[in-house]
A = this chain, B = another copy of it.
């Protein structure tokens, strides 16, 4: 859970024998500038970049999202829409969690300092190197409670 710049990303990639490409740099930048509370799917990112004139192929997008998630740069979220969503993975003051309605998928972000502490301690206890730690609450939102019956 570090804050990345193009430079530190390049350093970390090169350390492992990998390369910083314009595509990777652009994708990192999109997530860094993404407004708080927004989450992008692979397809979302593809269209976002296309609209910016920065066309990047969908396969590169999938490869990059997976790479950055495994490096701990991005968080991979399951928001109930049938495909993954991503957001930048930031430490303490920005670290947050998600409350999701299982019926309409409306998602609310919330913060809680003790969760990251629990995650850090648990990973450490087992000798794991922590990348991300997210509390996901599945629930039924007020408006879906009123609209009874349908699943």
Comparing A29-37, A43-51, A54-62, A115-123, the segment that makes contact with chain B is: A115-123
Mostly helix, strand, loop or mixed at chain A's interface? mixed
In the complex with contacts A112-B118, A149-B17, A139-B128 CB distance below 8 A: yes
- Number of copies of this chain that the complex holds: 2
A70 at the B interface (CB under 8 A): yes
A-B contact sample (17 more), CB < 8 A, given A119-B135, A130-B139: A16-B148, A72-B138, A99-B122, A112-B122, A114-B114, A114-B118, A115-B118, A115-B135, A118-B135, A122-B137, A123-B137, A126-B142, A127-B141, A128-B140, A130-B138, A134-B138, A135-B135
A residues in contact (CB < 8 Å) with B = 16-17, 67, 69-70, 72, 76, 78, 99, 101-103, 108, 110, 112, 114-115, 118-119, 122-123, 126-142, 145, 148-149, 151
